[in-house]
A and B are shown apart, each in its own frame.
Chain A
């Protein structure tokens, strides 16, 4: 019986690969957009405008303080009643982008704040404009503190993307859920699902650890 189910599972392997592709597409799009928005918000959050800083702070707290599943439901079910009709896929990308951006915003802001003040003072004294300071002095140094947790955040992004299966995005988790209705071997089916996520996440986790070690060495040399 077990080997019969195993064969059944192997026959649905193409669906799992399609699901993996969907997971990569959803997370990849959100990764790009989230990083971009996160950097912009993080730079503003570490900046001088108090009002903007407070607004971003409230946004970050709201996103951090509520479960991602609830955010997904709010975007998918409530936006339509405000007249914004969304398919599951764009709703998922918006929700994940929003989540990732809020976390990256905090990472970037704390990275920028960690750069000693003397650096930007020296840059002002050398006559660099605000943009030049950021571009040539502050950000390159801040990147050392930003990059390792940034990669860690990408791992979280891939894992959190499993939640969007709840609104019907056919990612790896959803394929597993659909398959288990037909092949009632939960351990086997979700073992395979877990393996696919593992294949995506484990290299990223190691990359994060590697970068962290490398960046610390660079820091101590200074």
Chain B
């Protein structure tokens, strides 16, 4: 298999891979920002005082977490047009990725907040701080240190999950491999190149994850 490995074809397809690499980066980045926002809002609703909002956020989080991303993707891809909502494929894809990761971010943020000792909140109340002041100055700065690693872990998952977008014919890294396979019938060249690009992203995020952890421990020690 490997002796017939055709590097020339890979070089020829490099511009396509570069374009697709950027597309994967761009769509995952957008979805990541959206997901963190969705996560903060959903977590705030879940932990907040309003019961109906809390139940709503709970249903959202649980239903996302107990169904596969691919099903959610198809749900929006085939479902939104029946409601008369027409988006380009990539928008549908980013929406599905955002909502999916958003539910996981909500859980990560929640466990970070709940890991802070309740004495901290009580001390905040005793000092006359309101809910937002307590969150802003006491809870969140501490919770962030606890959550940075799982958050980056979820970012890695999100980048990998973006490969599913190829199944609704969005042009990204996995789709580039499929194109090379169907154009030239060279699956080894196509998908192994795709895998290498994902590995580059993976090792970058992994390195960043351990780097940030060292920095945070360093800060705590002072």
A contact residues vs B (CB 8 Å cutoff): 61-62, 64-70, 73-74, 77-78, 81-82, 155, 158-163, 165-166, 172-173, 176-177, 180, 184-187, 189-191, 193-194, 197-198, 201-202, 205
Contact = CB atoms under 8 A, between A and B. Distances in A.
B194 to A, nearest CB: 6
Contacts of B89: none
Contacts of A155: 66
Contact of A198 (B67, B80, B167, B174): B67
A5 B11 CA distance: 49
A184 B82 contact: yes
Contacts of A186: 74-75, 77-82
Nearest to A199: B66
B83 A65 contact: no
- B80, B156, B177, most chain A CB atoms within 10 A: B177
A66 B202 contact: yes
A194 B63 contact: yes
B198 A197 contact: no
B17 interface: no
A173 B74 contact: yes
Contacts of A165: 70
A201 B161 CA distance: 19
A190 B163 CA distance: 20
Interface stretch (B36-44, B120-128, B142-150, B185-193): B185-193
Nearest to A5: B82
A66 B67 contact: no
Contacts of A177: 74
Contacts of A193: 71, 74-75
Contact of B198 (A65, A159, A205): A65
B53 interface: no
B74 A77 contact: no
Contacts of B203: 65
Contacts of B70: 162-163, 165, 173
B195 A162 contact: no
Contacts of A163: 68, 70, 164
A139 to B, nearest CB: 26
A198 to B, nearest CB: 5
B51 interface: no
Given A73-B177, A74-B187, A198-B66, 15 more contacts: A64-B202, A65-B202, A65-B206, A66-B160, A67-B162, A67-B163, A68-B160, A69-B163, A69-B167, A69-B174, A70-B177, A77-B187, A159-B67, A187-B82, A205-B66
Nearest to A67: B163
A61 to B, nearest CB: 8
